[in-house]
A and B are shown apart, each in its own frame.
Chain A
Amino acid sequence: MSDETLILKVENLQVHFPITRGIVLQRQVGSVKAVDGIGFSIHRGETLGLVGESGSGKTTTGLAIAQLVKSTGGQVWFEGRLLEGLDQSERRALYQHMQMIFQDPYASLNPRMTIGNVIADPLRVHSEMGSHALKDRVRELLENVRLDPALVNRYPHQLSGGQRQRVGVARSLALGPSFIICDEPVSALDVSVQAQILNLLEDLQRELNLTYLFISHDLAVVRHISNRVAVMYLGKIVELTDSDQLYAEPRHPYTQALLAAVHTPNPRVERQRQRVVLSGDLPSPANPPVGCNFCTRCPVAVDICFEVKPDLHESSAGHWVACHLVEQEYAGLRSQDEEVIDIG
């Protein structure tokens, strides 16, 4: 990994879960292709949004990068180092720099630990801090997430959903990581609390120089917080570009359908919205289509789409799309540009 500004690079990542049959003698009869060959990079200090619906593979991607789920193919480089075959002490070292925030603020905190202990836990595991130093650090972290330090002896059930999520954030910051994977961090929260947590995440990014991989199904949230966005469908990335560009000019038919399905709290805008209603259901990830994963539901699919899987192509600078039709359209435009230059 040559580029010094890249904190994470993912290449051809694959996570296939085996489907087995038999009780005593198990044999594999197939696999669920949850993540089926994806690649992207994240620059230091940026937020990459990873967007998709259920079955897209976005959460599995986050778990695989965090080494919480075993990948079955591809490479992940973090801070220039290939993450492969890590033993326990190497993984521990990794978690000093890479952390994760989870969706469910009720399930991700141990109900039998006070929040002071929840936050101190990673420090106890990974460092040799004495009890005074620990107390100070916990207090500092609580202040970072704008929680009253007096809550240190409360239990999770005594806190609101928003407060619990702040505790989850504080815990992820304990070891001073540079990179945090946020897996749907606001989806389980009430609307009026979501903004508090999103603002907090943005402030912390600035104050502590953090880089985020922000996983979510909520397109409006992702647009707001991300610099660049990758759209996933059935284990593949279908489009990747910067936020403004994605929302202004979505090129992949799936992205267009996804964006068309986002509602705005503005009746006039809603009345004028062009509806795109996809037919059918998501194919089974154990049995994806032969050609493009989206071909069974795509409103503009043609013959080649059912036969050949499209690769991710850079249709214009920094705007990657995996679609045969888009590729043809932009290849045509590019060759026109080239002709103009030649003539000049």
Chain B
Amino acid sequence: MSRALNESDRTTGSPILRIQDLHTEFVTEYGVVKAVNGVSFEVAAGETLGIVGESGSGKTVTMLSVMRLIESPPGRIASGEVHFNGDNLLELSNREMRQIRGSKIAMIFQDPLTSLNPVFSIGEQLTEAIKMHLRVSNKEAREHAVEALAQVGIPDPVQALDFFPHQFSGGMRQRAMIAMAISCNPSLLIADEPTTALDVTVQEQLLQLVDDLRSQLNMSIVWITHDLGVIAGLADRVVVMYAGEIVESGPTDMIFENSRHPYTQGLLRSIPRLDVPRDKRLIPIEGTPPDLIHMTPGCQFASRCRYRLEQCEEHPPLVELDTEHASRCWVNPEATIVSDYA
């Protein structure tokens, strides 16, 4: 029996992060870009949540909103609540938020070359964060930094402190960024496409590192990516986003083996994959993603959907289909992807 989700359904143990009806938009000369349109989800303690979506899905803006890193203007968090550790982050002062950002919640980004300051050494950037949050002496901060670099597998960590970002390879830079993120022992790590720009063998090194760290430090992780393969191996639960909304969410196995939303199914059918015969034709999702400035009413995916009905002109709510598995669709078709190719 399916029912629409609301506040009182959340009876499971207290989550570490709870986002409620978040709306974020950007005011531009072309109009207002509605980047995030009513997103709600939770992250449990110790779990890895995957957020999957393509460009324009709103996945990055959602987590930047959580961190209050949305540049305003032109962006603004129009409404919603973000509960972390007993506080609504959207109501904290800048000073209070600075104490949380980088220490209790840390974020790593896709391109470490742009998120590390090129004119400061790795050591200076690491110790800056440590001194700010942990109130220790310079000497202690340096020791702490060496430990963090060793923990992420950077060889000769004492020497590495004095290196500049450009002296590292892409994989090493990403490790340095992870070191900065974990240096203050955060309870939540947000990773925004951290391996997308890296070679696959380097990605493999980083994924193993993050896996080790997760169990050592008992962190929750939110991993944002467009790469379904990485998510399948990494996440406990998955949230699929499209046009600023969640269109499907649930445990990883359910999403991949029993997905009910046409967009998720479309994605799974359209990517070349090693577990399917190589000569089977790919089944693409026709059309293009919607314009986030001029949004049409109704389901945002309808114009590209093979199951489209007249009812889809009315915006579908996110509905729980079975335990923890929700989908935003009037049809919720059943489809087993791999057998489509058989």
What is the interface of chain A, defined by CB distance below 8 A to chain B?
53-54, 160, 162-163, 190-196, 198-199, 202, 217-221, 223-225, 243-244, 247, 257-271, 273, 275-278, 281-282
- Assuming the A-B contacts A267-B252, A271-B233, are A262 and B282 also in contact, with contact meaning beta carbons closer than 8 angstroms in the complex? no
**Which residue of chain B has its CB nearest to the CB of A161?**
B55
B54 and A192 within 8 A (CB): yes
A277 and B199 within 8 A (CB): no
20 A–B contacts, CB within 8 A, in A order: A53-B199, A160-B288, A192-B284, A195-B270, A195-B284, A195-B285, A199-B282, A202-B281, A220-B229, A220-B272, A220-B273, A220-B274, A221-B272, A223-B274, A224-B272, A264-B273, A264-B274, A264-B275, A267-B256, A275-B208
A269 and B275 within 8 A (CB): yes
What's the dominant secondary structure at chain B's contact region? helix
Q: Give the distance to chain A from B132, nearest Cβ to Cβ, in Å.
A: 31
What is the interface of chain B, defined by CB distance below 8 A to chain A?
54-55, 169-172, 199-205, 208, 226-233, 252-253, 256-257, 266-268, 270-275, 278, 281-286, 288-289, 338
Residues of B within 8 A of A258 (CB): 200-201
B201 and A261 within 8 A (CB): yes
Residues of B within 8 A of A244 (CB): 278
Residues of B within 8 A of A218 (CB): 272
A220 and B271 within 8 A (CB): yes
- Tell me which of A190, A262, A267, A281 contacts B55 (CB under 8 A): A190
Residues of A within 8 A of B55 (CB): 190
A190 and B226 within 8 A (CB): yes
B271 and A277 within 8 A (CB): no
When chains A and B are docked, how far (Å) is the Cα of A263 from the Cα of B170? 20
When chains A and B are docked, how far (Å) is the Cα of A195 from the Cα of B268? 11
A263 and B270 within 8 A (CB): no
What's the dominant secondary structure at chain A's contact region? helix
8 pairs of A and B residues whose beta carbons are closest in the complex: A263-B229, A195-B284, A270-B233, A53-B199, A265-B228, A224-B272, A195-B270, A195-B282
- Assuming the A-B contacts A193-B284, A278-B204, are A266 and B256 also in contact, with contact meaning beta carbons closer than 8 angstroms in the complex? yes
Q: Give the distance to chain B from A166, nearest Cβ to Cβ, in Å.
A: 12
When chains A and B are docked, how far (Å) is the Cα of A199 from the Cα of B281? 7
When chains A and B are docked, how far (Å) is the Cα of A212 from the Cα of B277? 21
- Tell me which of A217, A263, A276 contacts B232 (CB under 8 A): A263
When chains A and B are docked, how far (Å) is the Cα of A217 from the Cα of B200? 8
Residues of B within 8 A of A219 (CB): 200, 274
Residues of A within 8 A of B227 (CB): 263
B282 and A265 within 8 A (CB): no
When chains A and B are docked, how far (Å) is the Cα of A224 from the Cα of B227? 17
- Tell me which of B170, B201, B273, B288 contacts A265 (CB under 8 A): B273
When chains A and B are docked, how far (Å) is the Cα of A258 from the Cα of B274? 13
Q: Give the distance to chain B from A20, nearest Cβ to Cβ, in Å.
A: 20
B285 and A277 within 8 A (CB): no
**Which residue of chain B has its CB nearest to the CB of A244?**
B278
**Which residue of chain A has its CB nearest to the CB of B253?**
A267
Residues of B within 8 A of A190 (CB): 54-55, 226, 289
- Tell me which of B204, B256, B282 contacts A275 (CB under 8 A): B204
Given A54-B199, A195-B285, A258-B200, 9 new contacts (CB under 8 A)? A162-B288, A163-B288, A192-B284, A195-B282, A199-B282, A225-B272, A265-B228, A270-B233, A278-B201
A261 and B274 within 8 A (CB): no
Residues of B within 8 A of A54 (CB): 170, 199
A192 and B229 within 8 A (CB): no
Residues of B within 8 A of A257 (CB): 201
A263 and B284 within 8 A (CB): no
When chains A and B are docked, how far (Å) is the Cα of A192 from the Cα of B283? 9
- Assuming the A-B contacts A198-B272, A265-B229, A270-B233, are A223 and B278 also in contact, with contact meaning beta carbons closer than 8 angstroms in the complex? yes
**Which residue of chain B has its CB nearest to the CB of A243?**
B278
